[in-house]
Homo-oligomer: A and B are copies of this chain.
Amino acid sequence: MKKTFLLLSLFLGIAYANATDYYAQYRTDWAQKAEQYKPTLNETVIRPQSIVEFVKDEKAFQGWKANIIGEAKPFFGQSFKNQKEIILDLGDHYTGYFYFKLKEIQGIQDAPVRIKFTFGETAPELSTPYEPFNGGLSRAWMQDEIVTICEINDYETINRRLACRYIKIELLGSSPYFDFTFDDLYFKAVSSAKESEYVYDPNLSKELNDINRISLRTLHECMQTVFEDGPKRDKRLWVGDLYLTNLANNYSYQNYDLAKRCFYLLASLADENGRLHANVFEAPKPHPQYGTYIIDYNLLYNVALLDYYKATNDIETIRDLWPVAKRQIEDAMQFLNDKKIYDREKSAGLWLFFDWKNELDRYVAMQGVTIFSLQKTYELAQILGKTNEVKNYPTFINEMKSAAKKYFYDKNQKLFISNGQISYISQVWMVLSETVKGKEASELLNRVMNTPNAVTIGSPYGYHYLIEATIKVGMKSKAEELLINYWGKMVEYGADTFWEVYDPYNQYTSPYDFFPLNSACHAWSSTPVYFINKYFK
Contact = CB atoms under 8 A, between A and B. Distances in A.
A445 to B, nearest CB: 36
Chain A: interface size category:
35 or more
Interface string A259-295: 0000000000000000000000101100111110000
Contact of A114 (B139, B283, B289): B139
A314 interface: no
A86 interface: no
B140 A174 contact: yes
Contact of A141 (B112, B151, B152, B236): B112
Contacts of A109: 281
Contacts of A137: 111, 175-176
A113 interface: yes
A41 interface: no
Contacts of A174: 138-140
A173 interface: yes
A153 B108 contact: no
B176 A133 contact: no
B145 A108 contact: no
A231 to B, nearest CB: 13
Given A146-B146, A153-B284, A138 B160 contact: no
A136 interface: yes
B151 A283 contact: yes
Contacts of A233: 111
Given A146-B145, A146-B146, A284-B153, A112 B172 contact: no
A55 interface: no
Contacts of A111: 137-138, 140-141, 233-234
Contacts of A291: 107
A154 interface: yes
Contacts of A236: 110
A136 B173 contact: no
Contact of A112 (B107, B112, B138): B138
Contacts of A148: 140, 145, 159-160
Nearest to A156: B159
Most buried by B among A108, A138, A159, A176: A138
A150 interface: yes
A108 B176 CA distance: 46
B283 A136 contact: no
Nearest to A150: B160
Contact of A138 (B139, B146, B175): B175
A176 B148 CA distance: 29
8 contacts: A108-B290, A110-B236, A111-B141, A113-B140, A114-B140, A136-B176, A148-B159, A153-B283
Sort A-B residue pairs by CB-CB distance and give the 5 closest, nearest first: A139-B173, A111-B138, A114-B140, A112-B140, A153-B284
